Chains A and B, each alone.
Chain A
């Protein structure tokens, strides 16, 4: 009986709260949000060894400028992104991020770039309980809602992609002799782990040679020669654009024609395959999840045209061949959706809550069939990819969309 009456009181209280909720929810702000604007922070290597990614930061700014000018911001609030150069150096990222949170008082961090920089602020952000939203790295560790509830990834992670190639190898070439070249850091090793997990214990025996390179190496020619010498007939190429182009060209020049998997990191036609030589890139297999701006099959696609118009108008000195500008466009759109869903409740908690409730959200510059999905237990917004094969002119999609919560 007593239990019942307590329940009754609780129910009444809950009902009262529920009634009051709309009034309360109407406007609720944490630091960085107000009636006029939403201030958030971003770090990017505008200088230093990874400065090729700097264009993502500029693309983000250009997209928010469009939203501010054409739609007056989100829900009547202008967007203001404070962005600092961290030079891809983790200690500098820590310094810049502390400044963003403690001095500039931003509401959240958005799309901070790079695995090492994000790793350096991972604990701090979660201790401070400030969202570290849609980080620009493919490492797998960002999908950890229990351990790090304030951090969320964005793009398909490297392990999922590695597994896709492994499964394809086992199916198409069960007696393969696999050679692997990987960049000797977290990024390379993450891919390697996914690939090996996908092969399984038995499949790992198929690996005949596993070589690494350092980003400071001038070329990877020597490694390619070694892989060929080991008799490999499958090549998993885990390299960043410059080295990917070198590897493709060298393999062709020494007459090595393996089944060649090229990681998505370097799957850009304009900035990798063209420098390597299109005729040397035929039959390479990779994965994609968004539309390559240099791919002629999208030339008349309305989504591509909208992107291209935006580039012309808001980011005229940006390189339209650079896929990073599509990347920035996509992730900026993802953020706009989250902020729209937040309505007038711009608290840090609500931002994470809304980011974790994206359901089959469609981004025009993603490949057909690939959707953004999150839940309180799934902090990997995009986890599907499409296998593609290069035909000498463009990437041709084949097979179904792979990955996702189903696999």
Chain B
């Protein structure tokens, strides 16, 4: 029983990680209607910047944390302007190739600058077991907490602010949005910036758990995809719930049903299953496009 509870809580902790990555994917999808394959590597690179600020710059964790988010936002903004804007009216395939190119570039760049040995990333949370239990530690609770806060902020931003509305409009129907005076190009770049910023938050939370190295996000991104698809690729709340479901399911199935060898297959089966059976995901809206 104790082991079972342990698996559940450890699954929730992992779910928090997948949820934050899924959030970034949803963000960029909501803003641009693309799935960014380089999302994980961008988050990893931002995390390295955070690490450098703390280790080399000697900054306090939270200062470095906020600074990294700002840098990541600017980086994402710049990438959209420099790399993706010229591809604006090109076929989807060229954009995907650009994403894959970005993935390779960030991965190699991180290795070149920071090296490949794993690095311990500090956690801002206390190390003592919270409330005297050993099932969850403060970092895991903090990860879940921050993910939920980010989710609420995003929700408020998209639902309650004019800028959020403008961004949704720009992604959903660029022509009409432009006609009512929304600067669609700027909105896309902002969307990229926001997604990069959320990714950097996810990266900095993940890095303490899985250790920081250039290949840190490779496995996680796949689970992030599964979570986002399960919850609905256009629904931030769904993505977070999806993350927790994937985390717990992966742990419990791995430990008691299918064995550890097939854990990754759970994510792949989920992706394919969702796409086949319910492409909109559990909480996503079905979108009907007039052609």
* Nearest-Cβ distance from residue B172 to partner chain A, whole angstroms: 33
Cβ-based interface call for A24 (8 A)? no
User: Given that A51-B111, A52-B117, A253-B134 are contacting pairs, would A222 and B251 also be in contact in the complex, using a CB cutoff of 8 Å?
Assistant: yes
List chain B residues, Cβ under 8 A from A221: 10, 13-14
B117 touches A246 (CB 8 A): no
User: Given that A212-B260, A214-B263, A223-B260 are contacting pairs, would A242 and B118 also be in contact in the complex, using a CB cutoff of 8 Å?
Assistant: yes
* Segment at the B interface, from A141-149, A159-167, A270-278: A270-278
Inter-chain CA distance A322–B211, complex, in Å, is 16
* Segment at the A interface, from B25-33, B54-62, B195-203, B216-224: B216-224
List chain B residues, Cβ under 8 A from A377: none
B120 touches A274 (CB 8 A): yes
Cβ-based interface call for B81 (8 A)? no
B6 touches A246 (CB 8 A): no
A218 touches B223 (CB 8 A): yes
Name the contact of A222 in the complex, choosing from B10, B17, B117 (C-beta under 8 A). Answer: B10
Cβ-based interface call for A255 (8 A)? yes
Inter-chain CA distance A223–B108, complex, in Å, is 31
Q: Of B2, B134, B210, B213, which is in contact with the most chain A CB atoms at under 10 Å from its CB?
A: B210
Inter-chain CA distance A36–B11, complex, in Å, is 62
* Nearest-Cβ distance from residue B216 to partner chain A, whole angstroms: 8
A226 touches B3 (CB 8 A): yes
User: Given that A214-B263, A218-B14, A254-B6 are contacting pairs, would A51 and B219 also be in contact in the complex, using a CB cutoff of 8 Å?
Assistant: no
Chain B interfacial residues counted at CB < 8 A = 40
B255: nearest chain-A partner, CB-CB: A226
A253: nearest chain-B partner, CB-CB: B137
Q: From DSSP, what is the main secondary structure of chain B's interface residues?
A: helix
* Nearest-Cβ distance from residue B121 to partner chain A, whole angstroms: 9
List chain A residues, Cβ under 8 A from B141: none
Interface residues of B in 212-264 (CB under 8 A from A): 213-215, 218-220, 222-223, 250-251, 254-255, 260-261, 263-264
Q: Mark A242-272, 1 if CB is under 8 A from B, else 0.
A: 1001100000011100000000000000111
User: Given that A275-B119, A322-B117 are contacting pairs, would A242 and B213 also be in contact in the complex, using a CB cutoff of 8 Å?
Assistant: yes
B3 touches A245 (CB 8 A): no
Q: From DSSP, what is the main secondary structure of chain A's interface residues?
A: helix
Inter-chain CA distance A322–B116, complex, in Å, is 10
Name the contact of A246 in the complex, choosing from B7, B211, B215 (C-beta under 8 A). Answer: B211
* Nearest-Cβ distance from residue B199 to partner chain A, whole angstroms: 16
Cβ-based interface call for A114 (8 A)? no
B218 touches A275 (CB 8 A): no
* Nearest-Cβ distance from residue B5 to partner chain A, whole angstroms: 10
Inter-chain CA distance A49–B13, complex, in Å, is 25
Inter-chain CA distance A355–B134, complex, in Å, is 54
Inter-chain CA distance A218–B40, complex, in Å, is 13
Inter-chain CA distance A228–B5, complex, in Å, is 13
B residues whose Cβ falls under 8 Å from a Cβ of A: 2-3, 6-7, 10-11, 13-14, 17, 107-108, 111, 115-120, 134, 137, 206, 209-211, 213-215, 218-220, 222-223, 250-251, 254-255, 260-261, 263-264
12 contacts between A and B (CB under 8 A): A47-B108, A52-B117, A213-B260, A216-B264, A222-B260, A229-B2, A241-B117, A241-B118, A245-B120, A275-B119, A276-B120, A319-B115
- Lowest 8 CB-CB distances: which A-B pairs, in order? A229-B3, A52-B116, A275-B120, A216-B219, A271-B117, A225-B6, A222-B251, A218-B219
Query: Given A222-B14, A225-B7, 14 more contacts at CB 8 Å?
Result: A49-B218, A211-B260, A213-B263, A218-B14, A222-B254, A225-B10, A226-B3, A241-B117, A242-B118, A242-B211, A245-B120, A272-B118, A274-B120, A321-B117
